[in-house]
Amino acid sequence: MNHFVVKYYYGWFFIFCPHNVKINIVKICTKDKVMQVFNELSFEDGLPIPLQIKNHIKKLIVGGMLRKDEKLPSTRELSSMLDVSRNSVLKAYEELADDGYVRIEHNVGAYVLYIHVNTEENWELSWEERLSQSAHIADQLDLIKNTVRLEKKVINFRGLAPDKEIFDIEGVKRAFLNIISKEGYNVLNYGYAKGYKPLIDYLKSYMRGKGIDTEGKDIVITNGFTEGFGIVLSTICEEGDSILCENPTHNTALKIMKMHKLNVVGVDIEANGIDTFKLGEALKKNNIKAGYLVPSYHNPTGTVMPLEKRVEIYKTFKEHNVPIIEDGFSEELRYSGAHIPPIAAISGKGNGVIYIGSFSKILFPGIRVGWVLADKRLMTSLESIKKSSNIHTSFLDQAILYEYLLEGNLDKCIKKSRRIYKERYSFALECARRYIPYEEITGDGGMYIFLKLSKHIDCHRVLAECYERGVIFTPGDIFYVEGDNHNTMRLSFANVDLQDIEKGFSIIGEVVNNI
């Protein structure tokens, strides 16, 4: 005796028959039931009506609610039922046909074309056991993942994102419209690994304005500092090589060096930059492949290395024939004193310094555009390494940035940034001295200050207690290559107003005093 099972799904009745019966599934429905399926669609504001109709029908087809060769309601019927224009339904049907979900027969109607695929039983892999060593290293070094998660509104002294007040939205809009009008499809097509030539030429001129001799050198455009540093290391270093840096140093750079499986040699810093005696000793004792330095507004200490020391350091590296990778981080955020040229300027026509630049902290970090300036003979390999990873940096982003810079907006943004951050910098120093019991404080400008507290203070514990009171910051030990530096912290005021600076520093001071 044959048994039949009737099931009801979303306004449809299905009769499931035994396998020895000629028809496996018989569908019974009425016109009212067909319409019920579409009545479930409720429109959202902000999305085109045809797109919402298309997505709803696609969901029904993929989910098996509408079967192959099923006829869809006519455009007139569906438009009437949904109270939308017939053209909206027609457009939805045409796009479904373009995507291969329905077929349209002229003067007959639209029919389901897509064949529903039943999913197989779950296939579960243990991905944790298959992770590479690089993945494990990246997980361990992931600052966001391994520190306090932002699950509530806080006073944030951790981030270095520029204040939204600095963003020139109208200027960017104007640059976008201008470059699309001038370049059209050229900036929407594939570009060159080296970069957008007008921007490269602009940056060369900008580098010459810093006193750097660009003769015999060239530029490759990158996705910010992170990619720039990565392709430089991939070009000149092998796994197991030794690279020298300041101790502490830029956490992202430290992570990239470790991801490249390099032996990182840290050299302690003094009040005005890296300890030159220890630098010489490190270069003598280790087979160093390259040195990574942040001479201006050093991250995390905020110190600015004086010109005399830059010259001494350049000569030391030159003596040992070790190239310098110079990070021009926040170089423009000078609040007082004369301009100090980069180490790359000291080298003149020499080719021993690789300079990595970015406008992330004074313009728009969302436009991931940075650059590497290096010897032309090295540039060919840098370009090839970049090409092997991501072909090229967005040509549209490069072109928009170029057009924006061409209009003379950079100087305006620098002046605005200096005005906003200088006030916050001065006030942050004042509040730190008033509220936080520190042993040492550094920071000559830029977007943050660095504090060393009493040796018995653990800044991770301070952070945990501050978070409960709505304040977060960056513990300083993450910036160190080695050593016990649990009693340090970096306090960024990039995106914090004066009122919150005082309130936040006061809370940090109270927590420290109670430990």
Q: Give the start-end residues of each E strand in 248-362.
A: 263-270, 273-274, 288-293, 324-327, 353-358
Please give the class, per CATH, of domain 5-112: mainly alpha
Average pLDDT, the chain: 86
In terms of Cα–Cα distance, which of 86, 19, 23, 77 is closest to 49? 86
Lowest mean pLDDT among 73-82, 254-263, 427-436: 73-82
Write down the pLDDT at residue 36.
63
Asked if pLDDT for residue 461 goes beyond 70, the answer is yes
Sign of CA dihedral 26, 29, 34, 36: negative
Write down the pLDDT at residue 465.
94
Asked if pLDDT for residue 54 goes beyond 60, the answer is yes
Write down the pLDDT at residue 26.
39
Structural domain spans, the chain:
5-112, 144-164+412-513, 168-406
Asked if pLDDT for residue 385 goes beyond 50, the answer is yes
% of the chain beyond a pLDDT of 70: 89
What's the burial of 162, exposed, middle or buried (CB within 10 Å: 0-12/13-18/19+)? buried
CATH fold of 168-406 reads: Aspartate Aminotransferase; domain 2 (3.40.640)
Please give the class, per CATH, of domain 144-164+412-513: alpha beta
Q: For residue range 107-135, what is the model confidence (pLDDT) as tens digits? A: 888 999 877 677 777 788 888 888 888 88
Higher pLDDT residue, 122 or 79? 79
Asked if pLDDT for residue 400 goes beyond 70, the answer is yes
Asked if pLDDT for residue 6 goes beyond 80, the answer is no
Q: For residue range 468-485, what is the model confidence (pLDDT) as tens digits? A: 999 999 999 999 998 789
Nearest-angstrom CA–CA distance, 152 and 371: 36
% of the chain beyond a pLDDT of 90: 54
Write down the pLDDT at residue 147.
63
The pLDDT of 214-228, averaged and rounded, is: 93
Write down the pLDDT at residue 60.
84
**How many CB atoms neighbour CB 267 within 10 A?**
22
Cα Rg of the chain (Å, integer): 30
The pLDDT of 361-379, averaged and rounded, is: 88
Asked if pLDDT for residue 174 goes beyond 70, the answer is yes
CB-based contact 494:163 (threshold 8 Å): yes
Lowest mean pLDDT among 285-294, 299-308, 381-390, 430-439: 381-390
DSSP per residue over 123-143, as a string?
Answer: ----GGGG--HHHHHHHHH-H
Write down the pLDDT at residue 446.
85
Write down the pLDDT at residue 504.
96
Q: For residue range 7-51, what is the model confidence (pLDDT) as tens digits? A: 444 444 444 455 444 434 334 444 555 556 666 677 888 889 999
Q: What is the DSSP letter of 272?
A: T
Higher pLDDT residue, 508 or 31? 508
